[in-house]
Structure formats: structure tokens, C-alpha cells
Structure 1
Amino acid sequence: MNILLKSAKIVCPENKALHLKKRDILIKKGVIEKIAASIEAPSGVKTIERKDLHVSLGWFDSSVSFGEPGFEERETIENGLGVATSSGFTDIILNPNTNPLPDSSSNIVFLKERANGNSTNLHPLGSLTVNSEGKDLAELYDMKSAGAVAFYDFKKQISNPNLLKIALLYTQNFDGLVFSYPQDGQIKGKGIVHEGDVSTMLGLKGIPAMAEELQIARDLFILEYTGGKLHIPTISTANSVKLIGNAKKNGLDVTCSVAVHNLIFTDESLKEFDSNYKVMPPLRTKSDCKALIKGLKDGVIDFVTSDHTPIDIEDKRVEFDNAVSGTIGLESSFGSLNLLFDIEETIALLTKGRERFGVKTASFAEGEKACLTLFETSSEDIFSMANIHSTSKNSLFLGSTLKGQVYGVINNNQIII
């Protein structure tokens, strides 16, 4: 793969000499050979010129679900990675919510082998407990050796506090990272949306913010006792931000993430009973959205994620109470973040996080492997079915105006435009 990017505006705060400069970039055999103000295209090199062409390090998403194995009708690994590529992502963390669940080294090996040869790299999570039943720890060390980057019972609380204690102690032996989903199942009960005025008006069972915050407070107390590395995925309330911020000030090794849709939509969106808005954690209030955005800007919240969760139509086009929670989000991540933040902040959010999972971050420099995302920043368009490449179409961004467009990625000696 030999290509020349012409007049590309580089967005890379880590490289101050190149950041926000327009440069030609020559890439040969997957390596950045030259970056200069002007480069003549050598023989046999394809030239790429696009309107408002921007380039950054490849994007990263810390919470993506597909379906294979077991739920291929929702999304196969091959198609899912294609969606990630067309959405600008060169690395994704794959959630463990398949059938069978990846609770052994052989499952991890299967996932990695299925992803070989793609332009987007797949980094699997292993289940924290056997069959994600919350009883016995799975083969954590063996899975780490096989390529699992962390351990998570996807969207299931760790109800036994002693289990979390043991997991945090045990994983310190091999620098493992433990996920704990922030929701107390007993307080949640049969709730399906945020508990508040809207849930009362609609007659829907609510989930109080306290269900999330009590779980986080408990987990942070355990982390303080044990040490180790804890990640709290997809927080959704203002008090959750405060709790984690205080824990970081006290020196605890904790990170957290937030889903893009929890920054934008509130429970007011539920009034039409559209099941695409049924997500977990639930959409909260406007004040929660503001606190989450501030938490990202302040660095309390470490990562923003699409929380991409394909759900087939049979499980979504039913009564709201019976619909399965989840929304796809890879295709809409950039365009929605670009509305909330300036382009430098947006790209910083989309490129950070790899180190937490032991994934190497590429460098934007001559002689380095090309791991790049190409995009433009200014066009506005209404997100429609035509923008969705996922097998499942359950997006709560349908009908929303998004800003910017992904042109493609360059990674693993491949270019996808």
C-alpha cells in the first residue's frame, strides 16, 4: 500500500510540531515515510485529495459489542469490524456478551483468529466469572495470556463484594484490569428507565440514580482496601462523577467511561415510547448530561465510548417494556461528539485510552507505522438508515443532525476509503 495524502490538516496534540498544520504525508508499505509541506507523488503511488481533509491517529473505542458467536443475526465479527473501520476506528475493545461467553483461553483465541487480517484491530475482553454467573472467577490468567485485555461480566453487577475483592487481589499478580458494572440489581429491581418525573408520567418502572452510585461507592471502598486496577464502564449520573473524582484524588487506580448517547439524550426522549431509546444505563436528566460533559473536560471521566450494542429487529420492535436494551453507536460517534466539543477535544477523546488496556498507541512521525483516521469536520447531515452499515439498525441517533464525516482509515498496511 503506497499512498500520498495531499494537504491534510493534522490533528495530533502529542506532536506539537505538526499539530493543526497542513502537510502532505507519504505512506509506503504501511509506514509513514515522509511528512512535508509539499511532496511530489512518486511513480506508482496513489494520491488522495479530499475536501477539508483532516488526519489524526487512529480512533479507539473501549466498549463495542457484536454478536458472533451465537448471535450472528445481530452482527458478525467481519461485518462489525467493517462498521468500525468505516466509522474511523482502528482499535476496538470487544465486550463479552456472546454465546458461548468468552470465559476461557480457547474462546479468546477464537475471537482473535476471527479478527485477523482486518484494518481494525479487535481486543477481546474475557468474562470475569464462569459463564458470567457471578459465582466463580473464570480462567483470568490463561485468558490474559491468550490476549484478553481485561475482565468483565457485561452489564451485570458483581453482587458478591468478596468476589470483587478476590478478583482485584488476584489480578495484581499479572497486571490485570477488572471491570465492575455500576448498577445495584436489587435497587434497580424491574426498572427499565431513569426514575423521575418522566417515568412517573409514562407509567414506566424507574431505576434511581442511587442504584448506580451505591454500587460505585462500594466498589471504590473495596479498591481502596485491595489495591489493583478497576474500570467502571458507562457511568450516567452527576454523583457518579463526584465519587470517582474523589477516588482519583485519593490515589486509587480507577478509570471510567461514558456512552456518547448519555451525553446528549435525556429521559425526555422516552415520551414517544421508541424502544431505540431504551438503553442501559438509562438516559438520565439534563443536569446529569452537563455533569458528564464537564467530567470529560476535567479528566475525571477517562473515555467516551459508542457502547455499540446491536439488537435485532425482533427484540426491538416490540412493546417498550419487553424490548432489549441497547443502541448501535459506532457510525454516529464522531458526528455527535463533534457537535458537543471542538475538533481538538473530539479527537483527543477518540484517540485516548489504549494504554489502560495494554494496547500500544502509535506515533504520528516519520518511520512509524501508519495508524490513521481520515475525516472532515464541517458538513452537517441528518443521520438516517443510509448511514448505518451495521446489520442491526437500532440507533437512537436516527433523525439527529450530526457534524462531520469519516473518510476512512489507514492501518495494518491497508487503506479503506
Structure 2
Amino acid sequence: MNILLKSAKIVCPENRELHSKKRDILIKKGIIEKIGASVEAPANVKTVEKANLHVSLGWFDSSVCFGEPGYEERETIANGLLTAGKSGFTDVVLNPNTYPVPDTSSDVVFLKERGLGKATKLHPMGTLTKNADGIDLAELYDMKNAGAVAFYDFKRQISNPNLLKIALLYAQNFDGLVYSFPQDGNIKGKGVAHEGEVSTKLGLKGIPALAEELQIARDLFILEYAGGKLHIPTISTAGSVKLIAEAKKKGLDVSCSVAIHNLFFSDETLVGFDTNFKVSPPLRTKSDSKALIKGLKNGTIDFVTSDHVPMDVEHKRVEFDNAKNGSLGLESAFGALNTLFDLDETVKLLTNGRSRYQMESPKLEEGAKACLTLFNPEGEYVFEAKDIRSTSKNSMFVGASLKGKVYGIIHNDLTTL
């Protein structure tokens, strides 16, 4: 694949020489061969010129779900990776949200093989416990050797504190990353929305912030005792930000992420009972969203995620109480973040996170492998159903005003332009 990008404005704050400069970028066989003010197109090179073309290092998402295996009607791996690439993501971490769940090394190998030959690289996680049932540890060491980047019982609490302690102790032997979903199921009960004024008015069973914060406090105590590496995915409350900030001051090896929809929306959007807004953890208050944004800016929250969860219509077009959790997020991720943050902050958030999973960080320089995202950061638009590339259509962002469009990616000597 040979491509010449013409007059691309580079957004790469870590490269002071190139940041905010307009340059031509020549890519041959997947390698950045030349970056210059004016580069002539050699023979057999495709020239790419786009309106207000900007380019950055490839974007990373730490939480996406596809349906394969078991739920292919929601999303196949092939279409999911194409959607990710069209949305600007060169690397995605795949949640173990399939049937059967990936709890052995052969399951991880299957997922990696299904992701081969795509512009977006798939990095699978394995479950923390067998069948993700929270009883016995899965084959963590074997799955790590097979390519699993972390271990997570997707959206399920670790109810047994001793299990988390053992997992953290065991995973230290091979530098494994352990996930713990921040929700106490006993306190959550049958809740479906944030416990507060809105849920009370709507007659919806509430999920108090306590359900999240108590679980995080417990997990941090265990981490302090056992050591190891802990990741807390998709936090949603101001109290959670405070707890993690205090843990980091103690020097604990803890990281956390936040779903973009928890920054962009609040529980007030539930007034219409649209089940696309039913997610786990739930949308919280506006003050929680402000605290989450502040946590990102001061470094308490390590990175953002689309928390992309395709869900078929049969599980969404039902009563709110009975609907499955989850919303699409890949296609709207850039437009939503670019609405909330300035461009440099947006790109920084979208490129953060790889090091936590021991992935190689890409570079934007001559001689480096091309791992690039192409986009136009200008132009406001209303996100519509036609903007959805996923097989499922359960996006809470339909009707939202977003800013900026993605052109595609160049990665693995392939492109989605």
C-alpha cells in the first residue's frame, strides 16, 4: 500500500517539530518514508487529499464488544473492526462478552485469528474466572501467553473478595492486568437507572452511587494488601474519582477508564424512556459528569473508552426495565469528545492507554510503521442513524449534536479511507 497524504495538519503534541504543522506524508509498504512541506507523488502511489485534513497517531479504545462467537447477529468481528477503523481506531481491546466466553488459551487464539488481516488490530481479553461465573480462576497464565491483554468478567462484579486477592497475587507472576467491574450487585439489586430525583420521578428502580463507590473502596483495600495491577473500567461517579485519586497518591498500581457517554449525557435523558440510554454503569448526574471530565484533565482517570456494546433490537425494543444494557459508541466517539474538549486534549485522550496493556506505542516520524488516523475536526452536525456502521443500531447518540468527522485510518499496511 503506497499513499501520499497531501497538506495534512499534524496533531501530535509529543512531537514538537511536527505538531500543528501542515505536511505531506509519503507512506510506502506501510512505512512512513518521508514527511515534508512538499513531497512529489512517485509512480504507483495513491494521492489522498481531503477537506481540512488532519492526521494524528492512531486511536486506541480499551472497551469494545462484538458478537462473535455466539451473537453474530449483533456484530461480527470483521464488521466490528471495519466500523472501528472507519471511526478512527487502529487498536481496540475486545471485551470477553461472547458465547461461549473466552476462558481458555484456545479461545484467545480463535479471537486473534479472526482479527487478522484487518486495518484495525484486535487485542482480546480473557475472562478472569471460568465461564465468567465468579467462582474459579480461569487459565490466566495460558491466556496471557496466547495474547490476552487483561482478564475481565465483563460487567460482572467480583463478589468474592478473596478471589480478587488471589487473582492479584497470582497475576503478579506474569505481569497480568486484572479488571474489577465497579458495582456491588447486592446494593444495585434490580436497579436500572441512577438513584436520584430523575429515577424517582420516572418510577424507575435506582442504582445508588454507593453501589459503585463501595466496590471500588473494597477493591482498593485488597490491592493495597495484595499488590499487583488493577484496572477499574468505566467509573461513573464523583466519589469514584476521589477514591482513585487517593489510591494513586498512595502509590497503588491502579488505573481506570470512563465511558464517553457518561461524560456527554446525564440521567436527565431518561425522561423519554429510550432504552438506548440504558447502560451499565448508568448515566449519572451532571455534577458527576463534570467531576469525570475534571478527573480526565488532572490525570486521575487514565483514559476514555467508547464502551461500544452492540445489542440487537429484540433486546432494546422492550420496556425499560426489561431492556439489555449497552449502547454503540465507536462511530460517535470522536465527535462527542471533540465537542467536550479542545482538539489537542481530544487527540491525547484517544491515543492514551496502550502502555497499560503493554502494547507498543506508535510514532509519527520517518521510518516508523504507519499507524495514523485521518479526520476533520471542524463542522458541527447531528448524528443520525445513517452514520451507524454497526450491524446493531442501538446508539444513544442519535439526535446528538457532534463536532468533527473521521475519514479513516492507515495501519497494518491497510487503510479504511
Counterpart-to-counterpart distance in 2, 1:416 and 1:106: 29
Q: How many Å separate the matches in 2 of 1:190 and 1:231?
A: 26
Residue 138 of structure 1 corresponds to which residue in structure 2?
138
User: 2:32 corresponds to which letter in structure 1?
Assistant: I
**Residue of structure 2 in register with 1:237 after alignment:** 237
TM-score by length of 2: 1.00
- Mapping of residues 302-317 of structure 1, within 5 Å: 302-317=302-317
- 2:257 paired with 1:257: yes
Q: Which runs of 4+ in 1 moved over 2 A?
A: none
Q: 1:315-340: CA deviations, max 9, x gaps?
A: 00001110001000000000000000
**What is the identity, as a one-letter code, of the residue corresponding to 2:331?**
E
Partner of 1:47: 47
Write the deviation string for residues 96-150 of structure 1: whole angstroms up to 9, x where unpaired: 0100100000000000001100000000000000000000000000000000000
SS in structure 1 of the partner of residue 301 of structure 2: coil
Please list the CA deviations of residues 248-286 of structure 1 after superposition, one character each: whole Å capped at 9, or x if unmatched: 011000000000000011111001111011111000001
Aligned-residue Cα RMSD (Å) equals 0.5
Counterparts of 1:59 and 1:270, CA distance in 2: 30
Aligned mates of 1:83, 1:415 — CA distance in 2: 12
Who is 1:171 aligned against? Answer: 171
1:299 aligned partner: 299
Counterpart of 1:247 in structure 2 is: 247
Contact 2:82 2:416 in 1 (8 A): no
Alpha-carbon contact 2:63-2:308 (below 8 Å) kept: yes
Q: 2:3 maps to what in 1?
A: 3
Q: Percent identity?
A: 72
Where 1:109 maps in the other structure, the secondary structure is helix
Structure 2: how far apart are the matches of 1:309 and 1:133? 20
Check whether the contact 2:304–2:350 (CA below 8 A) recurs between aligned residues: yes
Q: Counterpart of 1:286? A: 286
Secondary structure of the residue that 1:408 maps to in structure 2?
strand
> Are positions 1:320 and 2:323 aligned together?
no
1:359 aligns with 2:359: yes
Deviations 1:133-182 (A, max 9, x none): 00000000000000000000000000000000000000000000000000
| Cα shift at 1:362 | 1.0
Partner of residue 374, structure 1 = 374
Aligned residues: 417
Q: 1:342 is matched with which residue?
A: 342
Secondary structure at the residue paired with 2:331?
helix
In structure 2, give the amino acid aligned to 1:31.
Answer: I
Alignment partner, residue 193 of structure 2: 193
In structure 2, the partner of 1:56 is 56
Give the superposition deviation at 1:42.
Answer: 1.1
The equivalent residue for 1:36 is 36
Structure 2: where are the runs of 5+ without partners?
A: none
Residue of structure 1 equivalent to 2:182: 182
* Cross-structure match for 2:114: 114
CA distance in 1, matches of 2:137, 2:224: 21
Cα distance between partner residues in 2 of 1:322 and 1:306: 23
Q: Give the Cα separation in 1 of the matches to 2:45 and 2:320.
A: 53
Q: Secondary structure at the residue paired with 2:381? A: strand
TM-score (norm 1): 1.00
The 3-state SS of whatever aligns with 2:240 is helix
C-alpha separation in 2, matches of 1:331 and 1:142: 34
Quote how far apart the aligned CAs of 1:46 are.
1.1
SS at match of 2:407: strand
Give secondary structure in 1 for the equivalent of 2:399.
Answer: coil
